[in-house]
Amino acid sequence: MLAYRAGTPIRAGQFLADVARAGAALGSGGNVLNVCTDRYRFAVGLAAALATAKVSLLPSTRTPEVIAHLRGFAPDAVCLTDEDGCDVDLPLVRFPDAPPAAPGEPAAIPDEADFTARVPRIEAGQRAAWVFTSGSTGTPVPHEKTFGRLLECMWVEAQRLDLVPGVSHTIVATVPPQHMYGFEASVLLPLASGNALTAERPFYPADICAVLAAAPRPRVLVTTPIHLRALLAADLAIPATDLIVSATAPLSGQLASEVEQRCGTRLLEIYGTTETGSIAVRRTTQTPEWLLWPAVTLEPRGGETWARGGHVEQPTHLCDVIEVTGRDRFLLHGRVADLVNIAGKRSSLAYLNHQLNAIPGVLDGAFFHCDAAAADAAVSRVGACAVAPGLDAAAITMELRRRIDPVFLPRPLLLVASLPRTSTGKLPQEALRSLAAAPPKPPTAA
């Protein structure tokens, strides 16, 4: 089975028919911005672009500024969408659903053997996608992804996750397919390894449980730390899940242990970047070390770490503080931009965030550099935002004094209803600074 929607199977023959229909709708241009929210339709659009020698554009966001940049980068780009009222300022192509069956007639079932004979053949060196990072200036920076290298990465990932051939797992994902992690783990991985994807993208805990319950076992949940925290806090009956995969931010050992105990399963973390794709895995409850993909190596250079080899298209600088502990292993100490140096004392935002979120009553919280230029330099102060119904700023500050050096106490400490997380649970520093700069509203900071 290739995919499921609401527990209903979608076979390979139907997929190939949908790919042919979508490929005809995309026109003659060479680039496609695929914003389909339905994961199956996104996968169809991706395959249709590959089959017609088009390149998928995967920006980190779809703000007007980013779309304007894409128009300059790829003037022939069209936007494939399944949304009503899509506001992307590009020529829109509505996802072409299969025509309905005539009244009284059953829906046509494609002949599997006929379509199997017409499976598109894609060259390994064909450019499959441009993925974009924001860059130091905020201008999207393109990175090429070829079809063969993407598959090579996914074959290794399937082995590392023990998604063995012959046993089809159903992969449920809370992350969008347009994000590199979601693109790989929820779309490419099932397509490349003989597992099945699910069309839905559940976000809230009840929705995650409902989609899991409808998905045939064995099933895998591809998610993020913020979704896992919300799922545990909701105190729902979580359907049996055979594997949980997390990425976008490192998990604490405490949260990883709680997830495994509550769900009765293994939890594996994936490490990667937009530029490199996935390159390492660990089981957090058993080791702090990350295990690299076999052909990927890390090379320290002048205080920086570079990844190269295997599916990594070119030597790539990693923006993380990494300690190489062996040829295929390393420890992750946080992002370079997370380093905090105040009055000669050093810490990291990751450590400070861990202490803030460990306070009973704090549902979500994050520190930030008050100065946008402070990363990797001496800073005057840090601030923090916290979601903590029932607590006030004084109580949180008192608890932080027990946990961290006073020089790292947040000034300001803002109590907010929610944090401005992205769809993958990430928290841009600028978004937190904007909260701090906004006019105060009750409850306010100390």
pLDDT in the model for residue 403: 87
pLDDT confidence bin for 138, thresholds 50/70/90 = low
pLDDT confidence bin for 399, thresholds 50/70/90 = very high
Contact 189, 214 (CB under 8 A): no
> 375 pLDDT exceeds 50?
no
pLDDT in the model for residue 379: 52
Q: Convert the pLDDT of each residue in 120-131 to its tens digit.
A: 899 999 999 999
Q: Which H or E run contains 333? A: strand 329-335
Contact 141, 131 (CB under 8 A): no
> 193 pLDDT exceeds 90?
yes
pLDDT in the model for residue 415: 94
Higher model confidence: residue 333 or residue 443? Answer: 333
Average pLDDT for residues 286-307, to the nearest whole number?
94
- Which of 16-30, 84-98, 311-325, 426-440 is the least confident region? 426-440
Gap between the Cα atoms of 279 and 52, Å rounded: 29
Gap between the Cα atoms of 98 and 288, Å rounded: 48
CB contact set of 441 (below 8 Å; sequence gap of 6+): none
pLDDT confidence bin for 114, thresholds 50/70/90 = low
> 171 pLDDT exceeds 70?
yes
> 195 pLDDT exceeds 70?
yes
Q: Global pTM?
A: 0.81
Gap between the Cα atoms of 434 and 266, Å rounded: 38
CB contact set of 130 (below 8 Å; sequence gap of 6+): 31, 55, 56, 57, 58, 73, 74, 142, 143, 144, 145
Q: Convert the pLDDT of each residue in 424-433 to its tens digit.
A: 777 888 888 8
pLDDT confidence bin for 359, thresholds 50/70/90 = very high
Pairing of the two strands 78-81 and 266-273: unpaired
Higher model confidence: residue 155 or residue 438? Answer: 155
Domain with CATH 3.40.50.12780 in the chain: 3-318
Gap between the Cα atoms of 192 and 154, Å rounded: 7
Domain with CATH 3.30.300.30 in the chain: 338-437
> 439 pLDDT exceeds 70?
no
3-state helix, strand, coil in the chain (%, to 5): 30, 25, 45
Contact 23, 52 (CB under 8 A): yes
pLDDT in the model for residue 104: 60
pLDDT in the model for residue 445: 46
Average pLDDT for residues 196-224, to the nearest whole number?
96
pLDDT in the model for residue 109: 56
**Mean pLDDT, the chain, integer:** 89
Distances (CA, A) of 192 to 197, 241, 262: 11, 21, 31
pLDDT in the model for residue 422: 80
> 377 pLDDT exceeds 50?
no
pLDDT in the model for residue 108: 57
Name, of 130-144, 265-279, 407-421, the range with top average pLDDT: 265-279
Q: Which H or E run contains 335? A: strand 329-335
Contact 389, 397 (CB under 8 A): no
pLDDT in the model for residue 371: 73
> 423 pLDDT exceeds 90?
no
Name, of 109-113, 205-209, 358-362, the range with top average pLDDT: 205-209
Average pLDDT for residues 106-119, to the nearest whole number?
60
Average pLDDT for residues 45-66, to the nearest whole number?
93
Which architecture, in CATH terms, is 338-437?
Answer: 2-Layer Sandwich (3.30)
pLDDT confidence bin for 444, thresholds 50/70/90 = very low
CA-closest candidate to residue 208, choices 175, 253, 163: 175
- In the DSSP assignment, the letter for residue 169 is P
- In the DSSP assignment, the letter for residue 359 is S
In this structure, is the dihedral angle defined by the CA atoms of residues 224, 424, 346 and 342, taken in order, positive or negative?
negative
pLDDT confidence bin for 374, thresholds 50/70/90 = very low
Contact 183, 60 (CB under 8 A): no
**In terms of C-beta distances under 8 Å and separation of at least 24 residues, what long-range contacts does 340-344 make, across chains too?**
340/367, 340/369, 340/379, 340/382, 340/408, 341/377, 341/378, 341/379, 342/378, 342/379, 342/380, 342/381, 342/382, 342/407, 342/408, 343/407
**Could you tell me how far CA 364 lies from the centroid of its own chain?**
19
Higher model confidence: residue 48 or residue 335? Answer: 48
Locate 230 and state its tokens.
């919300």
> 106 pLDDT exceeds 60?
no
Locate 300 and state its tokens.
């320290």
> b vs e for 167-186, b when ≥16 Cβ sit within 10 Å of the residue's Cβ?
ebbbbbbbbbbbbbbbbbbb
Query: Span 3-318: which CATH code?
Result: 3.40.50.12780
Gap between the Cα atoms of 387 and 414, Å rounded: 9
Q: Which H or E run contains 172? A: strand 170-173
> 71 pLDDT exceeds 60?
yes
Average pLDDT for residues 24-45, to the nearest whole number?
97
> 102 pLDDT exceeds 70?
no
pLDDT in the model for residue 105: 61
Gap between the Cα atoms of 158 and 155, Å rounded: 5
